[in-house]
Structure 1
């Protein structure tokens, strides 16, 4: 493979749709064909492209490094690589996935503060030398297996509320522990180039980014006094990914904090969005083939079990991707959807809902098709 070139891995079917369509209408059309019983995803690559556009519009100074751990679907990874994102990898497997499609090592950060020694050796062998740490143990490990690494100290800065708080696992205390680790790294002749923090996945607080950036500024100044060349700020993830989310509010907080704390120096700023790119792009369809109502319970419960098995990809902004992301003709199916009402595949006209009438509380057990 020629370095820097993209190549297709495990080609999947890509369906380019023109005209009116929605994931729901496509799912209904697939089900009506009667040949698909296993659960499957409908992936809208147009949503991924639009979210990348919004990111570059709202936060032009912040480079997105997609968190591969969120969803390592090769179609999603290849699309983001074609758009120009970097990648946050947490393991050897993730680094291999990204480098196998031609992503250059400088577009990857090994953002796992607790790395296995063999993974450090592998990352170094393929040229991925930017990596995070948050403990003395990790510094000694890196000194042994990758002494020329470009290190980023990860500090703890938790949002007041988040879907997945990460501070209990990763990140050193920023006011006492982080300065001690920076001094130790300098004594060990290791190259610390920046600061990172992660407010928690699915953060529900915007102001936390300003706090993290302020803490990072203090550590940049300490690093300068220790002779370290601090030049990278990683503001982590936490960006909402549901279809109703809006990046504007949090971007205003981040932009203002960067202008206040880092306007006077050349600093590369990156972030690690995961669900921001992945969540809204996928719609899961699972066939319910049996149900039973039980009236003996006071509360309503729904039990669902299924496997995620098939992915259908839909891509309206084909003009944006076709030159960036080469695919063989065998993997592309082009369909034209009428712009007016559709006789098949379109969502039916909603039926007025009758006034609600009291019904007894009951439990519904739902079993989905398993393979």
Structure 2
């Protein structure tokens, strides 16, 4: 069945209602649990969008973005590779059945335990960008296949600034020589733009500039006796700008790289952000704005940035918030999207009372929100769980429901 976003949203909404009814039951005064619906059909649609616009770039999903078991099982079924950072992530994805040859380790500070485990399990593709890491790899995993991580550049206040991680252009040859002196094997180049899918030209131009340096790096590597064959273009892609950005990058890759190279990418947010919707119950309202619609009231919900909304602390994202159940009645799709008529301003805060938990500063809602109502948050699939959460989801009081479209 072809992917139909409208039909998918109707099914997601049905599951949200089902979850709310299960949580509330006959006890209408219960604080309830947040409801999370994951649309695996949306994950599949994003995977297919990637392969459509990047037919020669193998997706290695960044597991830190969302380590939900069913999401990973779905990506395994679709044929994705995996990008890992930690020992817990590595052991988790290997346990799910991902091929060790389709896993990359790109954390800039790999522990000896991680390197030792990777060696035992046959996960050999590692990036590096420091001499210290070369020393650690020489000690624990000398036969690893290394990707030299280079810096990307973006213009900040008129100044060309390198990314936090990666080797700057003038130091690349020295690092290749250092790898050669340690009898290590460099098989390619990697980079990651820190512009994070910026819809301006910064993200796209940073990647294209990095691609354009690769022929020179290949020439230096071959002169030192290496046999480069892999390029990792990193992640940071977002759905809204993806087709245009992917087209420009694919053209640069085709124009620049010699034949026979394997190209991989590390999509995280792109694969999963649109897959997840979270519904939360309103526990309280403070400073109600009735009659003063320009002054926001604060809605307190039954979750927080320490549970389901970590992305609002670690990375700015535009919230997609809408009322879902108001005055004990589920709003229709048309009512939820209402933009006309009198509206009210609200802020949304978690129940922790930490300042960072006021994570939605201003939303305009054309319905009166009351204690006991439910509001929902769309596009919550990426980085929604805090970094301290266990890989694979761990224990959570949030009810998860899944929609699968074959």
The aligned runs of 1:182-331 (5 Å cut-off) are 182-200=176-194, 202-204=196-198, 205-241=203-239, 245-262=240-257, 264-293=258-287, 300=296, 302=298, 304=300, 306=303, 308=307
2:19 aligned with 1:30 = yes
Change (3 A) 1:252 1:168: closer
**CA distances 1:179-215 after superposition (whole Å, capped 9, x unpaired):** 1100111121100000000002632132222111112
The aligned runs of 1:142-221 (5 Å cut-off) are 142-160=137-155, 168-173=163-168, 175-200=169-194, 202-204=196-198, 205-221=203-219
1:21 positional shift? 2.2
Aligned to 1:119, the other structure's residue is in SS state helix
Structure 2: gaps spanning 5 or more residues: 1-6, 309-328, 353-371, 373-395, 398-406
TM-score with structure 1 length normalisation? 0.74
Aligned to 2:196, the other structure's residue is in SS state strand
1:367 positional shift? 4.6
**Contact map agreement 1:291 1:366 (CA 8 A) in 2:** no
Q: Distance in 1 between matches of 2:40 and 2:333?
A: 25
Structure 1: gaps spanning 5 or more residues: 1-17, 310-343
Aligned to 2:150, the other structure's residue is in SS state strand
Q: Which has the higher contact order (CA 8 A, sep 6+)?
A: 1
Change (3 A) 1:218 1:99: same
The aligned runs of 1:50-69 (5 Å cut-off) are 50-69=45-64
Q: Which residue does 1:330 correspond to in 2?
A: none
**CA distances 1:267-297 after superposition (whole Å, capped 9, x unpaired):** 100000000112111111111122122679x
Aligned to 1:286, the other structure's residue is in SS state strand
Q: Distance in 2 between matches of 1:196 and 1:287?
A: 44
**Contact map agreement 1:203 1:240 (CA 8 A) in 2:** yes
Q: Distance in 2 between matches of 1:226 and 1:199?
A: 27
CA RMSD of superposed structures (Å) = 3.2
